[in-house]
Chains A and B, each alone.
Chain A
Amino acid sequence: SQTIHQWPATLVQPVGSPLSLECTVEGTSNPNLYWYRQAAGRGLQLLFYSVGIGQISSEVPQNLSASRPQDRQFILSSKKLLLSDSGFYLCAGGGDVFSQPQHFGDGTRLSIL
């Protein structure tokens, strides 16, 4: 079955610093991959999704970007973090066929100071 690995688990960064969060997938090939953000007191919001290497779709305008350099690797980045980038970031994989649920990693809690 599919397993999603995310790291780091927690991260504290100053405003204006860069960011790189990595997500890798085991147990499947050519998965759809997703980045979600859960801000304090709010639900989950889809940020990016990817259906293949180099293919990235953005759902909301923001300070972040995503890349997919390999089939099972999905990276979330920023050149300069803002306070509003704080939150819990979740990577998910799967959902490439109808009705198949997405599987989530354990998340990265990002605090911007």
Chain B
Amino acid sequence: GNSVTQMEGPVTLSEEAFLTINCTYTATGYPSLFWYVQYPGEGLQLLLKATKADDKGSNKGFEATYRKETTSFHLEKGSVQVSDSAVYFCALSDNTGFQKLVFGTGTRLLVSP
């Protein structure tokens, strides 16, 4: 079946550091890929998405590129802020009519001033 693997957390960085959170997937067909962010005590918000190979999703300084050859969708940001502290989830959708999401386990990011 479909699955998503994320790097273990927590990831601890100083403000303005470069961020990479690794995400790889296993899927049949042509899934869409997503990054969701969960701030403390809140639900999930869509951060960015990519729907086909070589697409780059970007939002709020974050970006991720859909790499079919390596089945990866790594999240990057050039300069993190304290306000970026949250849990980040990588997910895929199988693009059937049911659009069920399969999530990774999440990676907690802690940014210190």
Contacts and interface: CB of A to CB of B under 8 A. Distances in A.
Contacts of B44: 44, 90, 92, 104
Interface residues of A, number: 30
Nearest to B101: A102
B105 A42 contact: yes
Contacts of A51: 97-98
Contacts, number: 68
Contacts of A32: 98-99
Nearest to B90: A43
Contacts of A103: 46
Contacts of B100: 34, 46, 49, 59, 95
Interface in B76-106: 89, 93, 95, 97-106
Interface in A55-113: 57, 59, 90, 92, 94-107
Given A101-B34, A101-B49, A96 B89 contact: no
A105 B43 contact: yes
Interface of A: 4, 6, 32, 34, 36, 42-46, 49, 51, 57, 59, 90, 92, 94-107
